[in-house]
Amino acid sequence: MKIIKLDEQSRQDILSQLLKRDPNNYTEYEDAVQAIVDDVRAKGDEAVFSYTERFDGVRLDPSTIRVTDGEIQEALAHVDPQLLAIMKRSMKNIRTYHEKQLQQSWFDAKPDGTILGQKVTALSSVGVYVPGGKAAYPSSVLMNIIPAEVAGVPRIVMVTPPGRDGKVNPVTLIAAHLAGATEIYKVGGAQAVAALAFGTASIPRVHKIVGPGNIFVALAKKAVYGHVSIDSIAGPSEILVLADETANPRFVAADLLSQAEHDELASAILVTTSMELAQQVSREVDQFVQILSRREILEKSLDNYGRILVADTMADAIAAANEIAPEHLEILTKNPFDTMTRIQNAGAIFLGEYSSEPLGDYFAGPNHVLPTNGTAKFFSPLGVDDFIKKSSIIYYSREALEPIHKDIEGFAEAEHLTAHANSIRVRFE
C-alpha cells in the first residue's frame, strides 16, 4: 500500500479521490435509468416482465413473479443447517439491538389545559431491495428487514433478481422468510425500484424503499425519491483504521483487506501516527494479498483507493478521520474509548483489536447498512427510526388559548396572513 505523509494537500487529494466514487457522479447512466423508470410507471407489469427477460434472461408472468410458500420450503432444503443456525443467532442479536431503538408516543398535559405530544406510527409498507447474481448476502437481508419488523411495519416487500432458472437464491430466500418479509418478488434492477415506487398489477406500491444495489439501482432510487421515501444513495464500501504504535500490524492489514475485497471501488485507509506501523502494515497487506481468493479485486481496490497516511499527532489523525467520515471506523489506539470521544463523523465505530469490522457485518447486532462517501457527516445507520413516522399532537382549551391569542394574531398579521389571524380572532369575538 502507498504510504503518504499526512498534510493539507494529501488530505485534500484523498477526499477528492473518494468523492469520485459517489453514485451521484455517474450521470451518464441517468437517462437510461429514467427511461426504465418511466416505462414501468406507464406500462406496469408489461415493462417489468420485458426488462426481466432482457436483463436477467428469465420470462416471468403474474403467476410466477411472486415467490410461493412452496418455493420457500424447497429453498429450506438447500440451506446448510449450520448456516441456518448461525443466521438465527445473528438475528437474535440484531433484533435485540434494534428493539432498544423503539420510540413510544408521548403526551405532556399541563394544568392550564394544554396537551402537547407526539404520535409514533410505523410505516404501512416498505420495499427492501436485495442484490442478486452469483453471490448471496443473507446478512444484508437481515439488516434491512429486521428493523422494519421491529418497528411494526405490517407489509415488508422484498425484491431481488432471479437466477437463470427463474428462482431466488435459497439462502437469500430463507433469510428473508426468517426475518419477516411478507412478500417476495423475483425482479431486480431499476425496474424493481420503479415497480415498488409506482406499483403494478402484480406488485402493489410501497411507501419507502431501502437496500443496496448497483449503480442502476442507486440512480433508480434517486429518480423515484419524492414519490416514495428512500434510505440513502449508497456508494462503495469503505474502512478507515485509526491506529497508534500499539496496534497489531497483522490485525490492521487483515481489517483493511476485509473491505477492499468488496469491489474495485472499495476504499481502505489507515491513518496512523507511527511510520514503523505504516511500513509493517504495508508488508502484511502484500503478504495477505498473495494468498486471499479475491486477489485481483484487492489489488485494484488498493491501487486506486488504498492509502496509509502518517500523521504527526493523534489530533491530526483524528481530524483527518472526521473529515473523511468513513462508513466503518476502527480505533486501534492505546485508549480507544478516549479516542472515540473525539470522533464526530463515522457510520459505525469499532473499538479495540478484537472488534474488527466483520463482527459488525454479521453478528454484533448494530446495523451494517451505513452512510458512505462522507455522508456520515449528516446520515445515520439504518435503524428502526427509518421505518416510523411521527405526528405532532396539539390540544389547547379556551382557557389556555385566551391569554396568548393576541400574540398569535400579531405574528400572523406581521406576515400579512390575515386569514391566519382571523382563525384565532373569531374564537374570542
Active-site positions?
327-328
Nearest 10 degrees: Cα torsion 39, 45, 48, 54: -100
Q: Is 227 helix (H, G, I), strand (E, B) or coil?
A: coil
245 with 276: CB under 8 angstroms? Answer: yes
Query: 294: exposed, middle or buried (C-beta count within 10 Å: 0-12, 13-18, 19+)?
Result: middle
Residue 419: how many CA atoms within 13 Å on its side-chain side?
Answer: 0
**Closest Cα partner for 45 from 70, 63, 31?**
63
**Closest Cα partner for 387 from 219, 222, 150?**
150
Angstrom distance (rounded) from CA 198 to CA 204: 8
352 with 332: CB under 8 angstroms? Answer: yes
Cell numbers for 400: 389556555
Cell numbers for 117: 405530544
**Closest Cα partner for 148 from 213, 99, 220, 109?**
99
3-state helix, strand, coil in the chain (%, to 5): 50, 15, 35
Type and span of the H or E element at 240 = strand 238-243
312 CB-near residues (< 8 Å, 6+ apart): 6, 273
CA–chain centroid gap for 23, Å, is 14
